[in-house]
Each structure stands twice: as structure tokens, then as C-alpha cells.
Amino acid sequence: MKRQNAFFEALGVDATNSKEVTRLAVISGISVKKLRYYNEHHLMPSGTELEKIIETTNVTKLKLMLKLGCVDHNVAGMLSEHADEIITLFEKEKKQTKAKKRLQPVFETNLGKLYHGNCIEVLMQMPSNSVDMVFADPPFNLNKLYPSNINDDLKAEQYLDWCEDWIDECVRVLKFGGAFLLWNLPKWNSALSNFLNDRLTFRHWIATDIKYRLPIKGRLYPAHYSLLYYINGDKPKTFHPDRLPMQVCPKCSGDLKDYGGYKAKMNPAGVNMSDIWIDIPPVRHNKYKRREGANELSLKLLDRIVEMSTDEGDIVFDPFGGSGTTYMASELKKRKWIGCEIGPVDDIVNRFDHINEEREILNNYRDNLNSLFPKQILKKREKEGLWTCESVRSKAALKMSTTTYTENSIPQLAKTK
Ligand SMILES: C[S@@+](CC[C@H](N)C(=O)[O-])C[C@H]1O[C@@H](n2cnc3c(N)ncnc32)[C@H](O)[C@@H]1O
């Protein structure tokens, strides 16, 4: 964890002594409010403010960076050069955390095991490089009330430190070629990608269009969740994204865009999946909710992720069970799974009593994949006389067979002979 008041400490100022802080503000010409802001957020001042601090205090830019834990490539290079000396200092201080007791699963299926407990403890008892995919949907630190009563209102740095701890363990248990997918708010994922970039290979930032808040004054309307997608190693062991249906008008099934001459080139198996997902429903309706209260993801999302990044028989790990969407998707798709939840697990266990309903929901989603026009849409389009892959292709074939070359087109060939 970053040390509290590291900014003031670096400048030799006692953060609790307002006279000392005010004095620093006067000599540096930077307001108390701004100084406290830097201190609280562990931010490096920049531009003229950094120059003023360097001029008016004894501190150097390097000292400030080291004290604040702001590591750029120069500092990283220096740390790496002096690693042996640092390790000696560090090992004296670091307390080794050990798993307390071996947890036993509280629920099992033929394919899965569910643990009731803290994910870090569960992770610590898992062997290295043992899972093919990790999907994580942690609490977002938005001060929500979870059935587990966990503290969802940590200071930003405490939250990020906690995330780094469990991500580090997730990376350890991931097989080479395995995928790590992290679902979070853009604010947290942008910070966590720094940590991940040093450990795994970045593949995608997938923006999933779901509005999750009311518009905020002075800000853009937050309308996407971030799904970070990383690989352990340089290439994925498995990558088979579904192809999606073409977007059509929900009422008349007509085109939303003018495809012009490209119609014939469109793949009847569907459109390539992009890194913007606009077809994932939020789970708001009670009919689909598997537990009261806090966030639950759609089976459609987990179906897509599991399909894209794993094969049948692979092992999926999700450290934050919630209502068990990942476990249900994995079970239905014949993947092995390991799960855990710190709060009550009854909703997850009970969900498996309704596995046939879940299978039906999943099959309904899958019926609409890997074809440009799923059955229902195709029927409607044919009825309305709109183009279909079949109609475009037969028209093109007809054109080819009835084309009579004019005198102007043949001479070109003739000339070259
Ligand atoms: C956002 S929810 C996950 C929702 C889940 N993806 C779903 O679709 O239902 C996060 C869950 O993580 C659980 N949790 C929080 N801290 C945990 C920890 N340290 N270990 C295990 N579970 C934890 C919370 O109780 C909550 O149920």
C-alpha cells in the first residue's frame, strides 16, 4: 500500500500541522487545497508547480517520485539495477501472509467446485498455472451494500492495492496461453491495466455498452463497462469468438445502414465480433435476477467470454461468485469451474436447481449467433421482400449467367491478345 502523507513527508512537512502546510503553501505559491490534493492522491505535481516545489524545498524530482511510488521507466530501470540491495531491505520488512486453513468446497457438481470464503485464501491453495481462464467481476467500490457486508467504500489506493493482491494470485494460477478477463468500471480498469501490463499480454479493452448511472453534471454520461482481456504469454491457447448477427431494425427487421454493393460480400455466418459490445442486456428484470441486490451479470456475457477463450473441458476460475453466473455458464458449456464467494452462497447453490431454465435461456441466446440473419429475422425479411444472403447471391449468379458481353468489353480482351 502507498504510504499515507508520503507527499508531505517527502517535503519535510507534518501533514497534521496546518501551520506547516500553510507555510509550505506560502513559500511555494501553491494553495493549501492543491497541496492536500497531491498528498491525498499520491500525485506527482507537474510543470511550474513541480518547479516551484523543487526551488523552494530541498527535495529532488527523483526523491518525490520514489516517496510517492510514481515509477516511470527511468525509476524502474534504476530499481531493477539495484534490485539486490532493495530486496535485502524489503525482505526484512515484508510480512509473509499465509493461508490459515485449507478450505473445502461447500458445493460440487461433476464439473465444478464452489468455496465459501475469501478469494485470496482460495487462490493461495491453488497450484500455479492450473487454470485456463480467469474471469473476475469484483465489487466496484461504489459503496454498495452486498449480502456479504464487505466494505465497498475503500479509499481509492486501498481498493487498488486489494485488487493488485488478488490479481497477482490470479496471474500465478493462470496457465500459459490462458486468458484473464477483468470486468470493472473504466476508472479502475485504467489503473489496473498498468499493473497487468507488467505481467500479462494485453489483447483488448472491450467496451460493453450498458448505462449504469444517471448522467452526472459536468461529465460525459457513463455508458460502458470495461472488460480487459489479457493473455499469459504472447498468444492465446484458445480464441474462437462467435460471429454476430447483423444489426437490424427491431420493429421491421430492415437494414439500419446502407450496405450498398457490400451485401454480397457479407459472411452468411455473421459479422466479426468487435471490441465494442452493444448487445449485452443488464440484469434488471426480476425474471432474470438470481439474487436480491447487488450486481449480477447476464448469462449472455459469460457465454460469450467462455466461448471465446476456452474449450470444453478447460478450467474456468472466477474469484467473485455473486449469483454464480460464470459457474452456470461454464457448467452449461461443459467447462470445469472453480468458484468462491465470501458472502452467502445459497443463491449460487439454488441456481443449480434451475439449470434447465438456464440452459433454455442460453440456448435462446446461442440460436441467434453465427448467422447473419437468425431464423426469426430471416423469416421476417423474406416476408417483407428484404435482401437476404440467399437473394443477393442468386441475383449475382443470375447476373453472371445472363451477362452478354458488349463489343466494348470484348475488344479489351481482344486487344491484349
Ligand atoms: C459484483 S459481484 C459479482 C457478481 C457476479 N459476477 C454475478 O454475475 O453474479 C462481486 C461479489 O464478490 C464478492 N466478494 C467480495 N469480496 C470478496 C472476496 N474477497 N472473496 C470472495 N468474494 C468476494 C461479493 O460478496 C459479491 O458477491
Per-residue pLDDT tens digits for 37-86 = 999 888 899 999 999 999 999 899 999 999 888 888 998 999 999 999 98
Q: Which of 122, 148, 151 to mutate to test the pocket of ligand 1 (most atoms within 8 A of CB)?
A: 148
User: 94 or 178, which is more confident?
Assistant: 178
Please tell me the distance between residue 66's alpha carbon and the centre of ligand 1 in angstroms.
34
What phi and psi values does residue 135 have, to the nearest 5 degrees? -120, 130
Mean pLDDT for all residues in the chain: 89
Q: Which of 144, 320, 325, 349 to mutate to test the pocket of ligand 1 (most atoms within 8 A of CB)?
A: 320
Judge whether 187 and 220 are in contact, CB under 8 Å: no
Cell of 222: 457513463
Judge whether 231 and 203 are in contact, CB under 8 Å: yes
Q: Which of 342, 346, 352, 358 to mutate to test the pocket of ligand 1 (most atoms within 8 A of CB)?
A: 342
Q: Does residue 310 share a domain with residue 171?
A: yes
Q: Does residue 151 share a domain with residue 37?
A: no
Q: Which of 100, 135, 150 to mutate to test the pocket of ligand 1 (most atoms within 8 A of CB)?
A: 150
Tell whether 30 is covered by a domain. Answer: yes
Q: Does residue 174 share a domain with residue 50?
A: no
Tell whether 84 is covered by a domain. Answer: yes
- Of 367, 383, 400, the last residue of a domain is 367
Please determine, for residue 90, whether its predicted confidence score (pLDDT) is greater than 80. Answer: no
Q: Does residue 200 share a domain with residue 134?
A: yes
User: 188 or 70, which is more confident?
Assistant: 188
| 320 burial via Cβ count (<10 Å: 0-12, 13-18, 19+) | buried
Please tell me the distance between residue 69's alpha carbon and the centre of ligand 1 in angstroms.
29
Q: Does residue 200 share a domain with residue 248?
A: yes
Q: Does residue 327 share a domain with residue 203?
A: yes
- What is residue 215's predicted lDDT score, i.e. its pLDDT? 81
Please tell me the distance between residue 147's alpha carbon and the centre of ligand 1 in angstroms.
9
| Ligand 1 atom at minimal distance to the Cα of residue 147 | 25
| Ligand 1 atom at minimal distance to the Cα of residue 302 | 8
- Domain holding 149, by residue range, is 107-367
Q: Over the stretch 146-166, which tens digit does the pLDDT of each residue have?
A: 777 888 888 888 999 999 999
User: Of 295, 341, 297, 346, which is closest to residue 319 (Cα–Cα)?
Assistant: 341
The Cα diameter of the chain in Å comes to 96
- Using CB distances shorter than 6 Å, the residues near ligand 1 are 118-119, 137-139, 146, 148, 150, 294-297, 319-320, 322-323, 325, 340-343
> Which residue has the CA at smallest separation from atom 19 of ligand 1?
118
Judge whether 322 and 140 are in contact, CB under 8 Å: no
Q: Over the stretch 335-354, which tens digit does the pLDDT of each residue have?
A: 999 999 999 999 999 999 99
| Count of structural domains, the chain | 2
Judge whether 307 and 243 are in contact, CB under 8 Å: no
Q: Does residue 281 share a domain with residue 244?
A: yes
What phi and psi values does residue 35 have, to the nearest 5 degrees? -60, -45
- What is residue 414's predicted lDDT score, i.e. its pLDDT? 38
Tell whether 362 is covered by a domain. Answer: yes
CA distance 346 to 147: 11
Q: Over the stretch 200-231, which tens digit does the pLDDT of each residue have?
A: 999 999 999 988 777 888 999 899 999 999 99
> Which residue has the CA at smallest separation from atom 16 of ligand 1?
342
- What is residue 288's predicted lDDT score, i.e. its pLDDT? 61
- What is residue 417's predicted lDDT score, i.e. its pLDDT? 34
Q: Over the stretch 271-322, which tens digit does the pLDDT of each residue have?
A: 999 999 999 988 866 666 666 655 789 999 999 999 999 999 999 999 999 9
